[in-house]
Structure 1
């Protein structure tokens, strides 16, 4: 349970960073949700391939996951 809370907190930070890197203007709630979803996706993917060995990888993976989610959102939902 503690790890999940860590993922959510890092996800919120990752959502903020990802929306800034991708130059997307969203509300605070959407930014946090994007980051948490990206962090969750990244955590599952990194955990699956056994690359998640240190907490530092979690933030990098969370930002990359959130950026991938923003790219998918912009590509397929904003037409």
Structure 2
């Protein structure tokens, strides 16, 4: 990510966060808060998506296995 873009997004995020939490801070601390918050939020989001991805994969695998068992029982075992 471009450093200028990161500073701009950090400034906006820090500004919004300091206003929501009613914190009086100067420009540099606001940008620092925003950048640090973006890093922490990004890591938490990546972790959450990784865990959800693993769970989604497990659910998909179980559903696929159930479908195969159903097809097997319906079309091969039922014909014998």
Q: TM-score band (shorter)?
A: 0.5 to 0.7
Consecutive unaligned residues of structure 1, counting only runs of 5 or more, are 52-79
More helix by share: 2
More RCO (CA 8 Å, sep 6+): 1
Which one has a bigger Cα radius of gyration? 2
What CA RMSD, in Å, does the superposition of the two structures yield over aligned residues? Answer: 2.2
| Residue 10 (structure 1) shift | 2.2
Q: Please report the TM-score for the alignment, with normalisation by the length of structure 1.
A: 0.52
Counterparts in 2 of 1:32-51, with a 5 A limit? Answer: 32-50=31-49
4+ aligned runs moved over 6 Å, structure 1: none
Q: Please report the TM-score for the alignment, with normalisation by the length of structure 2.
A: 0.52
Q: Does 1:20 align with 2:14?
A: no
Structure 2 CA distance, aligned partners of 1:4 and 1:34?
Answer: 15
